[in-house]
């Protein structure tokens, strides 16, 4: 099956630091870990690949190509350049294939979708003439790189039995290949590709050789510890104390990557049995492929990224992306997104107008692993938990404190409007920081405490805590607001909680004070008062799904819930990300990895930027973001921002009118005052498609924007210019 997609962002030049700019409404951008690079090839530019993205490097310009702008998959396994057709071939670990030619992507999914062979894994790809030769776990697949289709399948034996094929080369008018059944060769004819009778070459260990390469007819074979010059059986290089991680050839020289056990690597050059060190272990960790381009060496290192060596310098290329996958629990405000790396790496990532920054040291000290983050609404100080400590960063000062000496790690942090810091402490309960002092709020002895990690603060100052061991919800209220300090446990009993399940997985407080609770069996919504005296039971929304009524997300695990500026609900499940209407009864969007750039359908956390409406979706396999339609509303209407403006007459996207009061009424008129369009803001942002209420596209001209709040007062006026040439 063949189709093509247009790459709509590949031409966008990024700076050498590789920051990924925010796009328009409805567009995606990726925030991948790109420190692990495993390939580098030369085509019309230098291309390097991580498992998630391909980077095109031309001078000081770096362009990214990924699932958000044309590729059909993630899990990039190998890339190769087709010089004759000037196109890039991309192999995925799903056995899917893309061919990128100029501004189009052609997808070949024949191997991925085949039902003939149980194991369709791809091991290697090589380009010769107009053909791509693919070594798979069932044989060799030949693809036509002009027609973009599978041409033939060969089996490296003489009985047409499927054979696991590791690697191959074409040299001396023959095809040489390494399989799980040994080393084989057959004469080949390339004009209309075909192979003759296969011959077994039994002079080598049948199962140990996995890599083969050649230069000008000289063939090299390798395994983890040895390299052979065919047909000799004595190794020309041997290293029993390290692993050979790559074998590449250039100008009849052999370039070998070495990996030592302590994450130290080397790049060696072997020439006529002479071994010299090109790059030593003080620089490299795990070299996976080397490209020699004149006097330049480009080395893809799967731990550190891309190394560029010339006669005069050696530098790591700055490529956009995170330092590691985000396994912590992040937070966001109008200025900053904080994303702890958790246990995958020390420190945290920070995203603001300057792009991604990675903080691994602070004040000359190594920053520890941190799991949860919060930002103070009053002084913009950053707060983190680190097992037995709580960390504050403020005014370039680093403070680490331990609120008490009790057993139990500190988990999620929340900061209320009074700037009081709350944290949950496993095995204990809550701790609170106010007026420079920490205090403990212990749970009742009857409550299970082992496994405490997440909680939420609602508008009434109550703490809603996920009870461990499928224990439902613990609710705490102090006597600062209510008459009695009270703890209460809520379960599935219709008169005490009415939860859809006691296995609670997420909690969120919406803009109107309702507490949304996600479980492994859907969602319950609470609107509770004084829990010491009033009942507190969930309302279970009933929705229609394909003609059948059922509870909201019944039989689904709700991993996370987030609220956008229009009080709509973003829900993360194991089946993708969902945008629901304010009441939860209407599905606005359902994003999965099959219909969006999501790298996985398992959604772990969703964060929404209040000013831009950008929705950051962290999965169990990397993060992406989506430019949403809703922003947080302003309390006072002053000026409005309109983007884009001016607008091209050929523009077909949405025009965003931002900085509005919540749910403002927006009217669009022509210059004479004739009403053309009217809408309500989604939180603090309204969208217009440059058409009339009837759907008629407007001609070039000047159009006026009038905004008023729900009281009927005119609050702001703007102007939109639609013209050719923008």
Cβ count within 10 A of residue 710: 11
- On whether the CB atoms of residues 505 and 516 are closer than 8 A, the answer is no
pLDDT tens-digit profile of 569-627? 999 999 999 999 999 999 999 999 999 999 999 999 999 999 899 999 999 999 999 99
Distance from C-alpha of 531 to C-alpha of 353, rounded to nearest angstrom: 43
- On whether the CB atoms of residues 298 and 291 are closer than 8 A, the answer is yes
Distance from C-alpha of 447 to C-alpha of 288, rounded to nearest angstrom: 52
Partnered with residue 133 across adjacent β-strands are 126, 142
Q: What percent of the chain has pLDDT over 70?
A: 96
- pLDDT above 80 (res 12): no
- On whether the CB atoms of residues 98 and 107 are closer than 8 A, the answer is yes
pLDDT tens-digit profile of 23-82? 788 899 999 988 889 999 999 999 999 999 999 999 889 999 999 888 999 999 999 999
- pLDDT above 90 (res 397): no
- On whether the CB atoms of residues 530 and 483 are closer than 8 A, the answer is yes
Whole-structure pTM value: 0.86
- On whether the CB atoms of residues 716 and 701 are closer than 8 A, the answer is no
641-723 shares the fold of 2-17+33-235+287-295? no
- On whether the CB atoms of residues 531 and 485 are closer than 8 A, the answer is no
- pLDDT above 60 (res 1): no
Torsion angle of the four alpha carbons 557, 560, 565, 566, in this order, in degrees rounded to the nearest 10 = 10
| pLDDT for res 203 | 82
- On whether the CB atoms of residues 187 and 174 are closer than 8 A, the answer is yes
- On whether the CB atoms of residues 584 and 591 are closer than 8 A, the answer is no
Distance from C-alpha of 4 to C-alpha of 101, rounded to nearest angstrom: 10
Torsion angle of the four alpha carbons 466, 468, 474, 479, in this order, in degrees rounded to the nearest 10 = -100
Q: What angle do CA 438, 442, 444 make, to 5 degrees?
A: 170
- pLDDT above 80 (res 385): yes
- pLDDT above 70 (res 558): yes
| pLDDT for res 416 | 92
Q: What percent of the chain has pLDDT over 90?
A: 69
pLDDT tens-digit profile of 647-700? 888 888 888 888 888 888 999 999 988 999 999 888 888 889 899 999 898 889
Cβ count within 10 A of residue 644: 14
- pLDDT above 90 (res 221): yes
| pLDDT for res 520 | 97
Query: Which string of DSSP letters, residue by residue, matches 351-370?
Result: EETTEEEEE-EETTEE--B-
Q: pLDDT band for 207, please (50, 70, 90 cuts).
A: low
- pLDDT above 50 (res 354): yes
Output Rg (C-alpha) for the chain, integer angstroms: 30
Distance from C-alpha of 720 to C-alpha of 5, rounded to nearest angstrom: 32
| pLDDT for res 206 | 65
Determine the average pLDDT of the residues in 386-415. Answer: 92
- pLDDT above 60 (res 5): no
Q: Where are the beta strands (DSSP E) in 337-491?
A: 337-340, 348-352, 355-359, 361-362, 365-366, 372-375, 382-386, 389-394, 397-401, 410-415, 421-425, 429-434, 437-442, 455-457, 463-466, 473-477, 486-490
| pLDDT for res 177 | 96
CATH architecture of 2-17+33-235+287-295: 7 Propeller (2.130)
| pLDDT for res 21 | 74
| pLDDT for res 20 | 67
Phi, psi of 699 (to 5 degrees): -80, 170
- pLDDT above 60 (res 15): no
Q: pLDDT band for 4, please (50, 70, 90 cuts).
A: very low
Distance from C-alpha of 143 to C-alpha of 193, rounded to nearest angstrom: 10
| pLDDT for res 683 | 85
- pLDDT above 50 (res 16): no
- Pairing verdict, β 714-723 and 647-648: parallel
pLDDT tens-digit profile of 166-186? 999 999 899 999 999 999 999
- On whether the CB atoms of residues 183 and 169 are closer than 8 A, the answer is no
Phi, psi of 652 (to 5 degrees): -115, 5
Q: What angle do CA 85, 86, 88 make, to 5 degrees?
A: 105
pLDDT tens-digit profile of 411-446? 999 999 889 999 999 999 999 999 899 999 999 999
Q: pLDDT band for 226, please (50, 70, 90 cuts).
A: very high
Distance from C-alpha of 324 to C-alpha of 363, rounded to nearest angstrom: 22
- On whether the CB atoms of residues 488 and 475 are closer than 8 A, the answer is yes
| pLDDT for res 10 | 31
- On whether the CB atoms of residues 304 and 316 are closer than 8 A, the answer is yes
Q: Mean pLDDT lowest for which of 406-410, 482-486, 507-511?
A: 482-486
Q: Which residue has the higher pLDDT, 633 or 127?
A: 127
- On whether the CB atoms of residues 531 and 486 are closer than 8 A, the answer is yes
Output the CA–CA distances (angstroms, integers) from residue 336 to 16, 429, 583, 660, 685, in the order listed.
22, 29, 29, 21, 20
- On whether the CB atoms of residues 310 and 323 are closer than 8 A, the answer is no
Cβ count within 10 A of residue 542: 11
| pLDDT for res 251 | 67
pLDDT tens-digit profile of 104-152? 999 999 999 999 999 999 999 999 999 999 999 999 999 999 999 999 9
pLDDT tens-digit profile of 295-308? 899 999 999 999 99
Q: Rounded to an integer, what is the distance from CA 163 to the centroid of its chain?
A: 35
What SS3 string covers 44-105?
Answer: CCEEEECCCCEEEEECCEEEEECHHHCCCCCCEEEEEEECCCCEEEEEECCCCEEEEECCEE
**Domain edges within the chain:** 2-17+33-235+287-295, 239-286+296-321, 641-723
CA atoms within 13 A on the CB side of 378: 7
Nearest to 88 by CA among 49, 32, 34: 49
Greatest pairwise CA separation for the chain in angstroms: 90
Phi, psi of 112 (to 5 degrees): -60, -40
| pLDDT for res 253 | 78
Q: Which residue has the higher pLDDT, 725 or 130?
A: 130
- Pairing verdict, β 486-490 and 504-509: unpaired
- pLDDT above 60 (res 8): no
Q: Mean pLDDT lowest for which of 291-295, 501-505, 711-715?
A: 711-715
Partnered with residue 463 across adjacent β-strands are 457, 476
| pLDDT for res 580 | 96
- On whether the CB atoms of residues 660 and 666 are closer than 8 A, the answer is yes
- pLDDT above 90 (res 319): no
Determine the average pLDDT of the residues in 316-335. Answer: 90
Nearest to 613 by CA among 561, 568, 557: 568
| pLDDT for res 170 | 96
Assigned fold of 641-723: Immunoglobulin-like (2.60.40)
- On whether the CB atoms of residues 575 and 556 are closer than 8 A, the answer is yes
Distance from C-alpha of 409 to C-alpha of 582, rounded to nearest angstrom: 36
């Amino acid at each position: 099956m063949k189709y093509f997609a247009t790459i709509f962002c590949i031409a966008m030049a990024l700076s050498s630091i590789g920051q990924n700019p925010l796009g328009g409404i409805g567009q995606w951008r990726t925030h991948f870990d790109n420190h692990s690079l495993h390939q580098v090839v030369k085509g019309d530019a230098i291309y390097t690949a991580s498992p998630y993205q391909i980077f095109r490097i031309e001078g000081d310009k770096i362009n990214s190509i990924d699932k958000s702008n044309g590729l059909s998959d993630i899990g990039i396994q190998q890339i190769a350049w087709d010089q004759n057709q000037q196109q890039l071939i991309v192999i995925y670990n799903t056995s899917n294939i893309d061919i990128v030619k100029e501004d189009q992507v052609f997808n070949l999914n024949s191997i991925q979708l085949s039902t003939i062979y149980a194991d369709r894994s791809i091991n290697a790809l090589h380009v010769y003439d107009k053909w791509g030769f693919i070594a798979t776990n069932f044989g060799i697949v030949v693809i036509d790189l002009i027609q973009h289709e599978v041409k033939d399948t060969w089996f490296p034996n003489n009985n047409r039995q499927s054979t696991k094929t590791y690697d191959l080369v074409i040299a001396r008018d023959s095809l040489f290949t390494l399989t799980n059944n040994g080393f084989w060769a057959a004469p080949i004819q390339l004009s209309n590709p075909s192979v003759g009778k296969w011959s077994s070459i039994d002079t080598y260990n049948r199962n140990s050789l996995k890599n083969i390469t050649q230069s000008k007819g000289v063939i090299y074979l390798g395994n983890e510890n040895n390299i052979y010059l065919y047909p000799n059986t004595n190794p020309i290089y041997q290293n029993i104390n390290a692993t050979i991680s790559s074998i590449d050839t250039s100008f009849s020289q052999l370039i070998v990557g070495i990996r030592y056990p302590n994450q130290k690597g080397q790049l060696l050059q072997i020439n006529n049995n002479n071994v010299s060190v090109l790059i030593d272990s003080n620089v490299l960790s795990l070299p996976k492929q080397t490209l020699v381009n004149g006097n330049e060496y480009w080395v893809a290192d799967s731990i550190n990224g891309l190394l560029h060596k010339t006669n005069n310098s050696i530098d790591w290329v700055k490529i956009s992306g995170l330092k590691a996958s985000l396994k912590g629990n992040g937070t966001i405000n109008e200025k900053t997104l904080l994303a702890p790396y958790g246990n995958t790496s020390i420190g945290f990532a920070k995203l603001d107008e300057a792009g991604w920054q990675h903080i691994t040291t602070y004040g000359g000290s190594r920053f520890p692993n941190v799991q949860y983050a919060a930002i103070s609404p009053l002084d913009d100080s950053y707060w983190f938990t680190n097992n037995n400590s709580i960390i504050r960063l403020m005014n370039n000062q680093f403070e680490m404190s331990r609120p008490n000496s009790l057993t139990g790690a500190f988990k999620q942090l929340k900061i209320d409007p009074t700037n009081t810091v709350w944290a949950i402490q496993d095995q204990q309960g809550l701790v609170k920081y106010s007026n420079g002092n920490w205090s403990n709020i212990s749970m009742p002895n009857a409550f299970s405490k082992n496994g405490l990690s997440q909680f939420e603060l609602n508008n009434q100052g109550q703490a809603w805590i996920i009870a461990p061991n499928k224990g439902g919800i613990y609710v705490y209220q102090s006597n600062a607001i209510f008459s009695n300090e009270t703890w209460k446990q809520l379960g599935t009993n219709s008169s005490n909680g009415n939860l859809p399940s006691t296995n609670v997985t997420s909690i969120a407080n919406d803009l109107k004070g309702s507490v949304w609770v996600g479980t492994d069996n859907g969602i319950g919504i609470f609107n509770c008062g004084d829990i010491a005296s009033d009942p507190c039971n969930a309302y279970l929304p009933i929705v229609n799904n394909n003609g059948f009524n059922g509870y909201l997300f019944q039989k689904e695990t709700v991993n996370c819930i987030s609220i956008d500026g229009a009080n709509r609900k973003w829900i993360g499940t194991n089946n993708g990300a969902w945008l629901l209407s304010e009441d939860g009864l209407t599905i606005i969007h359902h994003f999965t990895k099959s219909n969006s750039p999501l790298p996985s359908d398992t959604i772990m956390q969703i964060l929404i930027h209040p000013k831009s409406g950008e929705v950051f979706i962290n999965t169990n396999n990397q993060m992406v973001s989506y430019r949403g339609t809703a922003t947080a509303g302003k309390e006072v209407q002053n000026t409005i921002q309109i983007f884009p403006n001016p607008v091209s007459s050929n523009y077909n996207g949405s025009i965003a009118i931002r900085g509005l009061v919540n749910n403002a009424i927006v009217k669009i008129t022509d210059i004479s005052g004739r009403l053309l369009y009217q809408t309500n803001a989604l939180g603090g942002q309204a969208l217009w498609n440059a058409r009339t209420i009837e759907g008629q596209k407007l001609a070039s001209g000047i159009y006026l924007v009038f905004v008023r709040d729900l009281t009927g007062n005119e609050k702001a006026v703007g102007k939109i210019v639609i013209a050719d040439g923008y």
